[in-house]
Amino acid sequence: MSMTSYLEAGRRAVMEEMQRDERVWALGEDLGRGGVFGQYKGLQEMFGDERIADTPISEACIMGAAVGAAMTGTRPVVEMRFSDFALCAVDELVNQAAKARFMFGGQMRVPMVVREPIGMWRSSAAQHSQSLEAWYAHIPGLVVVAPATPADNLGLLKTAIRNEDPVVYMEHKNLWALEGEVPEGEHLVPLGKAEVAREGVDLTIVTWSAMRHPCLKAAEDLSAEGIGVEVIDLRTLWPWDREAVLASVGKTGRLLVVQEAVSVAGFGAEIAASVAEALHYRLRAPVRRLGAPRIPVAYAPPLEDQARVTDKAITDAVRGMVVPQTVA
């Protein structure tokens, strides 16, 4: 194991897969300069400008070229810079890539990875701060991945590049500098397999992406009060590990779903509904969701914080579900 940043783990994943398979290549804006966050730094020097390809400033062009290239035998890694910008290419992804396998009766596959950095990054404002994972989880034919740690960013990105269907790969911008232990050898993380990040017996928190970290902080704080919180990091939203979630909630009897995205129609609603339908007779408290209000993310830090889910908010929500409430 070695200490590696979340950003460097993603860069290593692309590099190793390009070394392993000559069909793998990357395209997007400014990749020759390393990409907007530096996640492709040095790769054009290693592989040349045909495999680390700079493109025009047109998301629709980038995505359309990648879809065609994937259909004809290559394995593109598509860099969208921000998930917000990828909305300019949603037709090529949702109406073409996601549906090709079905519409061609299984004769056509689209093995491509679309990297879409998500989430709030200080003072990035309304057009650079969204978490849109629920949009893609809604679309049949798309795989949706949201890694939370450097090790998962390495292992999940490598697995995604090897996958035979289009993957929307959503790295959180606020995690780029996060460091953690990463295996030095070959490391693959399976799609659709959640991780129990912390065990507990009183309540289950299900989360993904950057919310893993405030959830673990809240669980640590609550342990001092004698409340045992189990934290499950989904890692992939489609497919999602329904069995792991149901097993955990079956044990604890309580579920809190935590997401950074707007709570309204978020993916947390799918988890909450699935658990309520399957385990309603075993629940010790109503299922709860915690997410952002339905407001644009502001530029000003005090207003931005109004949309932020904090470890204190998580702690308060857990207490409200576990600690008996007195009636005045």
Let me know whether 178 and 201 are in one domain: no
Q: Minimal CA–CA distance to 270: which of 162, 147, 134, 144?
A: 134
The CATH number of whichever domain residue 210 belongs to comes to 3.40.50.920
Q: How many structural domains compose the chain?
A: 2
Let me know whether 164 and 284 are in one domain: no
Q: Which of 157, 182, 207 is the last residue of a domain?
A: 182
Mean pLDDT of 180-193: 96
Confidence class for position 328, pLDDT limits 50, 70, 90:
very low
Let me know whether 275 and 237 are in one domain: yes
Spatial distance between the Cα atoms of 281 and 248, rounded to a whole number of angstroms: 15
The answer to the question of residue 187 being in a domain is no
The answer to the question of residue 252 being in a domain is yes
Q: Which of 182, 217, 243 is the last residue of a domain?
A: 182
H or E element at residue 167:
strand 167-169
Let me know whether 167 and 35 are in one domain: yes
Please determine, for residue 327, whether its predicted confidence score (pLDDT) is greater than 80.
no
Mean pLDDT taken over the chain: 95
Please determine, for residue 102, whether its predicted confidence score (pLDDT) is greater than 70.
yes
Mean pLDDT of 27-39: 94
The answer to the question of residue 328 being in a domain is no
Residue 251: alpha-carbon gap to chain centroid: 26
Let me know whether 240 and 293 are in one domain: yes
Let me know whether 166 and 40 are in one domain: yes
Mean pLDDT of 220-246: 97
Please determine, for residue 123, whether its predicted confidence score (pLDDT) is greater than 80.
no
Let me know whether 212 and 147 are in one domain: no
Spatial distance between the Cα atoms of 216 and 233, rounded to a whole number of angstroms: 10
Alpha helices in the chain (DSSP H): 6-20, 43-47, 59-71, 90, 98-103, 133-137, 150-162, 212-223, 242-252, 267-279, 301-304, 311-322
pLDDT tens per residue across span 275-286: 999 999 999 999
Spatial distance between the Cα atoms of 2 and 181, rounded to a whole number of angstroms: 5
Q: Give the pLDDT confidence score for residue 15 in this predicted structure.
A: 98
Let me know whether 251 and 175 are in one domain: no
Q: Give the pLDDT confidence score for residue 325 in this predicted structure.
A: 58
Model-wide pTM > 0.85: yes
Confidence class for position 79, pLDDT limits 50, 70, 90:
very high
Q: Which residues are marked as active site?
A: 128
Q: Cis peptide leading into 239, omega within 30 of 0? A: yes
Let me know whether 47 and 172 are in one domain: yes
Tokens of 259: 């997401």
Q: What is the number of other CB atoms lying within 10 angstroms of the CB of residue 22?
A: 11
Let me know whether 266 and 305 are in one domain: yes
Please determine, for residue 115, whether its predicted confidence score (pLDDT) is greater than 80.
yes
Q: Minimal CA–CA distance to 253: which of 314, 322, 315, 195?
A: 322
Q: Give the pLDDT confidence score for residue 323 in this predicted structure.
A: 83
The answer to the question of residue 327 being in a domain is no
The CATH number of whichever domain residue 124 belongs to comes to 3.40.50.970
The answer to the question of residue 190 being in a domain is no
Confidence class for position 65, pLDDT limits 50, 70, 90:
very high
Please determine, for residue 11, whether its predicted confidence score (pLDDT) is greater than 90.
yes
Q: Which of 161, 182, 203 is the last residue of a domain?
A: 182
Mean pLDDT of 157-164: 98
Range of the domain at 111: 2-182
Q: Give the pLDDT confidence score for residue 23 in this predicted structure.
A: 98
Confidence class for position 326, pLDDT limits 50, 70, 90:
very low
Is pLDDT larger for residue 173 or for residue 328? 173
The answer to the question of residue 189 being in a domain is no
